[in-house]
Amino acid sequence: MITAHRLTKTYGRRTAVDNVSFTVEPGRVTGFLGPNGAGKSTTMRMVLGLDRPTSGSVTVNGRRYADSPAPLREVGALLEARALHPGRSARDHLRWLAVSNGIPSARVDEVLDLVGLTTVAGQRVGRFSLGMGQRLGIAAALLGDPPVVVLDEPVNGLDPEGIRWVRTLARDLAAEGRTVFVSSHLMAEMAQTADHLLVIGRGRVLADCSTADFISDHAASYVRVRTPQHDAVATVLRRHGLDVAAHGGELRVQGLDAAAVGELVGHAGLLLHELTLVRSSLEDAFMTLTADSVEYAATPAGAQR
Ligand SMILES: Nc1ncnc2c1ncn2[C@@H]1O[C@H](COP(=O)(O)OP(=O)(O)OP(=O)(O)O)[C@@H](O)[C@H]1O
């Protein structure tokens, strides 16, 4: 379990992480979501003792990571920046890590196999693609068979097969009872991987809830109505207290499900050409939630004046 209590990190006058409290529970995948610059990496670095909090604290299984006698056996981590010796082979890189952490070298071949790098284990890592580097980073994270796994943007640079592999791996690790904390700026990807979501923007927690609750709370829906009797239908629906907005040739209706909207229109003796429940995508929900906290927002062309 990872527990952060009023965790804060400032760099000069900039507050990267602002009074953040959360727990990451074992046995499930917790997705750590936020737009670029939200403070995800800084938080993860503090979890791993690589950055010192300005105030507040964070513990892993009840103690600070820096106080752990065998860190690699306690927490496995993949961080965004890769620090690899380019001339070393993948196997040598892992062997070196294993030896320096008192892990039997037989474990090296196990993790190479687990991440699908066995056939290229003798190649120099300097020639690895981004995706192979990510796999090697994950192999290193799993070397100590740790109960807590922290992955910062693990799907960066992976192809669709690789992305699916990371998703399955994260879920398998959680199913084994481990604490799995995975960051991403991709909402849709996280929705498929994580059981629980921690969403941050500008260093603050915006949501801390199950993925299912996030979807039902934030992914708005409306009923699309197409009718040749546009104005009459809008009047009837509004008279029943529904929120009706005209968009081009369609009406967007909120407040009742599609069947109930259809019945109201039918009872009024009016015609319907289309009745569809439209859900906004999760990506839209995430953008709406974090809109005020995006560090580098593009201004739509023409909106500058
Ligand atoms: N070493 C540092 N010195 C100064 N500012 C920093 C430092 N590290 C991070 N920041 C700032 O802190 C804020 C949070 O950065 P962080 O990298 O944690 O965000 P992030 O959510 O991981 O974003 P990304 O997905 O872009 O990596 C940003 O405004 C960033 O510019």
| List of domains in the chain | 2-217 (3.40.50.300), 221-279 (3.30.70)
CA of 44 to the centre of ligand 1 (A): 11
The answer to whether the CB of 234 is under 6 A from ligand 1 is no
- What is the per-residue pLDDT for 106? 92
| Alpha-carbon distances, residue 79 vs 12, 50, 51, 189, 289 (angstroms) | 23, 11, 13, 18, 26
Rg (CA), the chain: 24
CA of 213 to the centre of ligand 1 (A): 28
Q: CA nearest 39: which of 62, 59, 17? A: 17
Residue 92 in 3-state DSSP? helix
CA dihedral 105, 107, 110, 114 (to 10 degrees): -120
The answer to whether the CB of 36 is under 6 A from ligand 1 is yes
- What is the per-residue pLDDT for 85? 75
- What is the per-residue pLDDT for 302? 46
CB 198 within 8 A of CB 207: yes
Question: How is residue 45 written in tokens?
Answer: 């670095």
The answer to whether the CB of 112 is under 6 A from ligand 1 is no
The answer to whether the CB of 35 is under 6 A from ligand 1 is no
Q: Where are the beta strands (DSSP E) in the chain?
A: 2-11, 14-24, 28-33, 55-60, 75-78, 148-152, 179-184, 196-201, 204-210, 221-226, 243-247, 250-254, 274-279
Task: Give the global pTM.
Answer: 0.81
The answer to whether the CB of 52 is under 6 A from ligand 1 is no
Phi, psi (degrees; rounded to nearest 5) at 150? -115, 120
CB 144 within 8 A of CB 76: yes
The answer to whether the CB of 202 is under 6 A from ligand 1 is no
CA of 52 to the centre of ligand 1 (A): 14
Question: How is residue 293 written in tokens?
Answer: 């906290």
Strand order in the sheet with 204-210: 75-78, 148-152, 179-184, 28-33, 196-201, 204-210
Residue nearest to atom 8 of ligand 1 (CA): 42
| Alpha-carbon distances, residue 178 vs 2, 8, 99, 192, 202 (angstroms) | 11, 26, 24, 18, 29
Question: For residue 9, which atom of ligand 1 is closest to its CA?
Answer: 12
Question: For residue 295, which atom of ligand 1 is closest to its CA?
Answer: 29
CA of 229 to the centre of ligand 1 (A): 53
Full pLDDT tens readout for the chain, 305 residues: 999 999 999 999 999 999 999 999 999 999 999 888 889 999 999 999 889 999 999 999 888 887 777 778 889 999 875 666 778 899 999 999 999 888 999 999 999 999 999 999 999 988 888 888 899 999 999 999 999 999 999 988 788 888 999 999 999 999 999 999 999 988 888 888 999 999 998 899 989 999 988 887 777 788 999 999 999 999 999 999 999 999 888 999 998 889 999 999 999 999 999 999 887 777 777 777 777 766 555 555 544 43
How is 137-172 classified by DSSP, letter by letter? HHHHHHTT--SEEEEESTTTT--HHHHHHHHHHHHH
Q: CA angle, 136 as apex, 132 and 141 as ends, to 5°?
A: 145
The answer to whether the CB of 34 is under 6 A from ligand 1 is yes
The answer to whether the CB of 37 is under 6 A from ligand 1 is yes
Residue nearest to atom 7 of ligand 1 (CA): 11
| Alpha-carbon distances, residue 56 vs 111, 204, 287 (angstroms) | 35, 14, 29
- What is the per-residue pLDDT for 187? 83
Pocket test for ligand 1, best of 9, 41, 199 (most atoms within 8 A of CB): 41
Q: CA–CA separation, 142 vs 77, rounded Å?
A: 8
Residue nearest to atom 26 of ligand 1 (CA): 36
